[in-house]
Structure 1
Amino acid sequence: MEDVLANIDASAFVGKVVYLAVVVGIALLIQRVVVHGLKRALDAAGVPKASIFVNIVRTVIWAFALLAVLEPVLGVQPTAFVAALGVTSVVISFGLQDTVSNIVAGLGLMMGRVVRPGDQVTIGGFTGEVVDVTWRSTMVRDKGGKVEVIPNSVLNKTALTRETDWSVTDCPVEFYVEQGSDLDAVTREVQRLASEKCGAALAPGFSTEVLFDHLGPLGIHGTAHLHLVAGSNYAVQADALVRAISRAPWIARPASADTSASIINDATN
């Protein structure tokens, strides 16, 4: 009798394991097909692909898979489980208000096409490329590789500036020119030096712009706008141009520097 009961228990256990394996296999297959179809549908509809949509679909699929194995494998009535889960979720939701807020905000941002992976944006003074939009946050990576993780609920309430190609590639280099200098000649010289020192890193389709905006105690303030390709080290390229133009005869030099130089020369003599 004990052998018969043992065989019955063993066969029942094996049956449950097989049933569980079949359900998991079907769920994995459905997930693969549905996620692939979702990505194609998003592309066709012009809605950006982000992990938040894929994660929601996966959660729904595995929730149904769990309900399918509750009674056959665990002996739990699905209706009772759902009812208990509903009561529990109300209690838990009070402690997960921020998480729920981030999820809802993330869906709103993506469906409204406010931010999409690949966008160049400035958020709260931080400028970079949107890498991904997840359940809780949006990840933005700047030119130096630093990744800023911004909660979706915060992003939904923060002013966002969408950058243009001009501003994304811009590497400004400021300098002062002596008053009375030929600014057209200075512009040509700066552009030549930029091409010579930073040519390999300059973005095609953009010329190096040299703009003069005001007169100051040091002279005429100018800014050279280098437009660099993605992946360039902006600090290195700016350093190369600064070193080159610092030796130009038209560069403004403080009077104190001239005085110091005279003192050094007098001491040497």
Structure 2
Amino acid sequence: MEAIESTYLYHHGGYVLVAAVAILTILGTMLVAHLLVKVMYRTLKKTTGGVVGGSIVANIIRVVIWFVSISCILKWCFNYNTSVLWGALGVGGIALSLGLQNTISNLIGGLQVSLSRDFKMGDWISIRDITGKIDDITWRVVKMEDADGNSYIIPNAVFNSNAVTVLPPFQTTDLTFEISSMADLEAIGEKLPQLAYDALKKAGYLYEDMKPELSLDSASLNAINATLEVYTEYTYETIDIRECVMSAVLAYLKSNNALATYTE
């Protein structure tokens, strides 16, 4: 109580003024933290084309603002010498840095990942033997989820010492088969991509309306090697994509006596 009663606020308004200032400071801190985090996300989204920072930058902003706010409350409401607190923070920071090297390494790695723009949340990446979509970037780890729904928690420091492959937002599946050399190639070139497109769209596998592409690779005396390239989300299995597309394609080729062989 003596600490409170020795403050400037107490002498000019008693406990009511001290409590009011403390409450208003807390409320103001909550508002400022919310606004700054919101501005940060909007700025990153505008400058990078997507939400880059994850939660790590937001958490750092909150910690700094709250630390300053608590320092102000201690000074204004309890007449506490905050220079001691800041000095202790510096000394304690040195001690903590020695004991928390891995944590600090992960923090620095998280900042580099967040601000480097090499990849962002929602991207599909491959690191070591893990391939998945980035769900969040925190102060300590990057959270990923693979096509099977498995979750991975990877320390940020791993990204500083390992190669990262940023994948396209869709997976490509090549479906190979042989067309009879007597077939009408012009008609097949128009029909097969459309059949594959319709089948994928009906099944819900199609990625952003990307139309499949047909390529004729090489030819023998009686057959022409063909590859149908289709584009889908990573969450779909190759076997399901193959079954979805090839049932319609093979039916068309057989009905027109244009199928030579099909590679499973």
Same fold (TM over 0.5): yes
Rate the CA distance shift 1:206–1:243 in 2: closer, same or farther, 3 A: closer
User: Once the two structures are superposed, what CA deviation does each residue of 1:163-197 show, in whole Å capped at 9, x if it has no partner?
Assistant: 235xx232345x676xx964978986975764564
Matching residue within 219, 232, 243 for 1:228: 232
Contact 1:228 1:234 in 2 (8 A): no
Under a length normalisation based on structure 2, what TM-score does the superposition of the two structures give?
0.68
Q: Which of structures 1 and 2 has the bigger CA Rg?
A: 1
CA-based RMSD of the aligned residues comes to: 4.0
Matching residue within 38, 51, 54 for 2:58: 54
Give the corresponding residue for 1:163: 167
Give the corresponding residue for 1:205: 210
Rate the CA distance shift 1:40–1:196 in 2: closer, same or farther, 3 A: closer
User: Once the two structures are superposed, what CA deviation does each residue of 1:217-255 show, in whole Å capped at 9, x if it has no partner?
Assistant: xxx9976533125765655333444667899774469xx
Q: Report SS of the residue matched to 2:139.
A: coil
Shift of 1:74: 5.0
Cα distance between partner residues in 1 of 2:238 and 2:103: 37
1:78 alignment partner AA: T
Structure 1 residue 108 and structure 2 residue 112: aligned?
A: yes
1:55 alignment partner AA: N
Give the corresponding residue for 2:74: 70
User: Once the two structures are superposed, what CA deviation does each residue of 1:46-73 show, in whole Å capped at 9, x if it has no partner?
Assistant: 3834222211111110010111122444
Shift of 1:110: 2.5
Shift of 1:134: 1.4
Contact 1:122 1:162 in 2 (8 A): yes
Give the corresponding residue for 1:258: none
* Structure 1 portions without partners, runs of 5+: 1-7, 214-219, 254-269
Give the corresponding residue for 2:154: 150
Give the corresponding residue for 1:32: 34
Pairwise mapping of residues 85-104 of structure 1 onto structure 2 (< 5 A)?
85-104=89-108
Shift of 1:154: 0.2
Higher relative contact order (CA 8 A, sep 6+): 2
Rate the CA distance shift 1:28–1:242 in 2: closer, same or farther, 3 A: same
Shift of 1:105: 1.4
Give the corresponding residue for 1:216: none
State the aligned residue count. 237
Contact 1:106 1:153 in 2 (8 A): yes
Structure 1 residue 140 and structure 2 residue 144: aligned?
A: yes
Under a length normalisation based on structure 1, what TM-score does the superposition of the two structures give?
0.67
Rate the CA distance shift 1:134–1:193 in 2: closer, same or farther, 3 A: same
